[in-house]
Structures are given as C-alpha cells and as structure tokens.
Chains A and B, each alone.
Chain A
Amino acid sequence: MGWLLCAPAVLVILLVTAYPIGYAVYLSLRRYDLRFPADTAFVGLANYGTVLSSGLWWQALKITMIITVVSVAIEFVLGLALALLMHRTLVGRGLVRTVILIPYGIVTVVAAFGWRFAWTPGTGYLAGLFGDAAPLTSQTWGVAVIILAEVWKTTPFMALLLLAGLALVPEELLRAAQVDGAGAWARLRRVTLPLMKPAILVALLFRTLDGFRIFDDIYVLTAGAHDTRSVSILGYDNLFTALNLGVGSALSVLIFGVVALIAVVFVRGFGTAAPGQETDHR
C-alpha cells in the first residue's frame, strides 16, 4: 500500500534523474560532437581528460567554490541576525516577515536584472559607488556583485530556516541561563546556537548545495565573461556554444560527483541529520 502510493513519485523522479545521469555517464565515455552527430565512438575517459586538463574547469570550480563559501558565510551571519530580529522584535514582525519573502519569491532572473541595471553605468544607482569603472567588467567586482545578488536573494530563506530552529529553543532555558548570569552574547553562543545546531547544519547544507548550482545570477550579470564562470555556466556553454555532448556529459558527471561529495562531508563529517530521518520519532 505504501509503495503503491509512492510509486508515481518514485517513477517520475527516477526516470528524470537516475536514468539521465546513467545516460550522462554513458555519453561522457563517448565522442559526441553535435556538429558531427554521425561521428560517435567509445573514447574511454578521454572526455574527462579533456575537462580535467583544461584550465576552464579548474577556474570555474574555483569561482564556484568562492561564490558558494563566501555567500553562504555572509548569508549565515545576516540570516542569523535577521532570524533574531524576527524572533525578538517588538514592532512590525509581520511586516518584516512579509517583506523578506519578496527576495525569496522573486524570479532570480528578475532580481539579477535589477542588480545588473543597478551596477551598469548610465542606468544604475550603484555604478558610481566605486569610481568610474563598470564593476561588471572586472573579475573581482563581477564576482562580488554576483555574491551580493546571491546573498540578497537567499538570505531570507536562510533566516526562515534559522528562525524555525530558534523557535525550538525553549524560552525557559534562556531565562535559566540569564539567572545563571549569562549575558546576551553568552546566551546566544552557549545556549541558543548549540541547541540550534541541527537546524543550522541543515540550513548550511541546503544552501551550500544550492549555492554550488549557481547559474541564473551569473548568466544575467556577466554571462560568464571575465572569468566569472561557475561550473553550471561552463556546462551550459559547453553544450550550447561548443556543442560537445561528450565533454558536456563528462562535466555533468563531475559536477554531480562534487555535489555528492559535499553532501557526504556534511552528513558524515558534521553529523547533519538528513531531514526526514527524524520523522520516525513521531
């Protein structure tokens, strides 16, 4: 009965993910250039060799890592502050909660255009902020703007996850800590954060894996120019510009591998409880 009800969902999920990933592994082992569709052959790991020996892959991986780590770190700090604000604020709680859902809900492409115009000389209010240069035409500034866009868009989500964790910390415990002589900072660091740890780890896992997939923001802001490509942008370019399905598939498999590795590190290394495990206690 249980399986019967789950069967449609499982079927769809497997058909659209497991099968294509298997297919990608197959394609990645073959020469398959869309310009020469007839000329396909088994080439072993040659496509992987092409990718791994290319500076583009390592450059994209580095940029992706930087964007992910920096934006998740900033999001965590801002998200925690925002969560505390929403949890404790005396005024306008509803307003804040409503307003922060706008960055969460807004179409990423739309938000990215907003930032692009903001930083483009002539149409932007931020362009002149750091001298005359157009920020989106340099690698450093380009990445910085991409991180800004990413942080703006996803901090609310982080904040809401942390807020939910915050709500699980019993008020009485904080009173007890206060009676024990803990100040606000000590209460946060020694009581609140340890109790929120599961929620924090889940939020970080979600956001790290999500950040690693970054595509929309970069596509709109720099289109990957000036060495601001993420691995997703690289994969896309490879398919639609270079038209090389074999190499593109090798890229797909590598990205999947990196994401799986990150997930394993979180779950095994930090002991992040995968959401869903707890459901058995209820």
Chain B
Amino acid sequence: MADIVLDHVSKRFADGRVVVDDVTLTIADGEFLILVGPSGCGKSTTLNMIAGLEDITAGELRIGGKVVNRLPPRDRDIAMVFQSYALYPHMTVRQNMGFALSLAKLPKIEIARKVEEAARILGLTEHLERRPAALSGGQRQRVAMGRAIVRSPQAFLMDEPLSNLDAKLRVQTRTQISRLQNRLGTTTVYVTHDQTEAMTLGDRVAVMRAGRIQQIAPPGELYAAPVNIFVAGFIGSPAMNFLPVTLTADGRALRTPLGEWRLDGPQPDDGRQPDVGRLLERLRRAAPPSGERPLVCGIRPEHFEDAALVPADRSGARCTVRAEVVESLGSDKYVHSSWAGPVALGTDLHADLPIDPPLPGSGGTQLVARLDAASRATKGEPVRLWVDTTRLHLFDPVSGANLTAPRV
C-alpha cells in the first residue's frame, strides 16, 4: 500500500480546454478520499490520470514516493472499479476476477485461491462459473469490486461505482464498500457526483469545480465550515438556502427579503452553541466594516424552526413566509416557499449546484426549511419561522468566499 501525491497536476486536452487545473492533493496511505463535484468538474479525468489512462499535461504524480507520470497503468499496481463495471462479457466471473493475476503469470493454484477468497468475501462463490450477462446489477458490481481486490494493489480507484444501482442497493453497497475498505486498509480514491456518498464514505472529501479543488476536508468540516458558496451549496441535502442580503452600516443587522434580522441582542452563550458574537467577530476580521455592503446569506434548512415551537425569549431572527408546499416525512416537515425579487446566485452557480433555478412564474428566491414534525405549518397558509442566526454563513457576493467560516 502507498500514498498518492498529486503535485500541481494539470490536464489540457488537445483542443485547448483545461479540465484539471493545478491540482495538489496528498492521499495518505490507507486513506479513503472522495473526489466529488458536478459533471465536467474534472474529477474523472483526475482519477484517470492517477490510473494512467490519461496523460498528465503538467505536474507530477507520485505513488508510494515514486514518480509515475510516464508509467503505463500495468506498472502502477493499482486497481480500478468502473462505473459501467467493464466486466469482460466473454469470461466467467472467475476468469474476470483472475484476469489480472493470469496476466501477471501467477500460478493457477494461487489464482484460484485468491479468486475464491475474494468471492467468499463478496458472496460471489456460487456465481464463479457464470458469465456477467447472467448476473444482476448488484452482483456485477461486486464482481467489479472483486476484480480489484484479488490483486491486493497499492490503491483502489473507483469511478462512480454505485451510480448504476437502484437506490436501495446503492445504500447497501455503500456500506459494504466502507466496511471492505476498513478491513483491507487500502488507499482508495473514489469519484462521485453524489454528495451523500461523499459525506458517508470518505475520510476526507475533495470538492472540485471547473478543474480546481475548492476544499479538502473531512465530511463534518466540509458541512460546518464550507470555504465558499459552491461548497456550501453542493454539500448538504436539501441544499443550503441562499438569500441576497445587505449588512447594515453598523455591521450588526442584515436586511433580508424576509425583513431585518438583528445580529446582536442577548446571547445565551452556554458554551455549546456558537454565538452571534463570534460570527460577527469573524466577519469583521474577514471584511472590516465599511458602510453598508451586499452579502449572500446562507442558511441550512435545519437552522430554521417553526417559531411556535421556540421559546419566545430565545434569540434569533423571526420571519413569516407562505408555505407553498409542505412535505411531511414523519420525523420532520419540509416547508417550501418562494418569492419574487433579486436572486442570490448567478446562473453559472445554479448550473453546478443541486439547487433548482427559479421556476418561471414562481418567485425568484426559493427557500426550504426543515421544521420539527410537531409544526402546524399547512400548505397555502403563512408560517412564522425562527432562524438560528448563530448558524448563518455570510459570503462575499463577488468572490463567493465564506466570510464567516470558523477556522478549524
């Protein structure tokens, strides 16, 4: 096993498009790293460069300390699981899994032992003599995994390995992959466009957009302290709400489409909850006060609550919206609302984020709030919401940088 280092790696296609732009990334020995991002962000190209399936235009790639830029895939000792599984249709499961070993000229007995061991782990023993065409989608996926693990390679590369499975199987297999990686301890790079997979699987997650890495962090940190609007909007489901706001000249209140939200006032700082004071302090440090300034305010759906269920003396902002749609999930209630007016995000961000652009005819800004199941919110009726102002994220509307991210 080995670590993988990408040192200022770039990829430029023949037509001049730069799809991977100066990516620097260290994947520790035994680490499970997720590359996540919208389609076309360069994550698959990055994976293919690590695999040796694409040339590296600039920069250096090291596996186990050795520069492998010019090595063909077969000399890199890494295994890959493809989105399409890429099982050889003319070979049995046994032959598929043993193909790499037979190319490596291992003795037949040795190959049989390793293949059977892997098949046992993956529950494929009774399917060993069948062809891929005779297997279900989940079984094929496991064969693809098996083909990778029989080789005991230095690293696993996985390219959206779950995206061809149905929802239920995807969750099951996700857990299996996680267990398998824990057990084998093999360095793994896993590419996905699904933020749920990214959050549940990885030791660390690298969020990519437009060929660049936006942030590399453990899932929890990515969620709590996104460095910019893109990461904030990409990670989390339903996605973070974004409102165009104005910070007042005294720097202590936000004028929002839902009314003015005071950021000061009594703060019951019990030490567990973050307080607005720290938020303002971080904001001041990132952007010294200079009169009124426009900002983008990000609020996660769970940082709303039905005002009726919050003690009246609890600090935070309160506002009223019309509940256009109420989804009751049993444990929670989701309230959807929208209103006309300026939008916080440009269209390019909308294209890359899992947030619906404003619907024609409906309002410009959309809002999703996750409320307690006890909420009385009803479809078509106004609902009074409470906002946990200590959890707000304030972003620079031009650069998109998070001005209030807690330093971790």
Direct contact of A and B (CB under 8 A): no
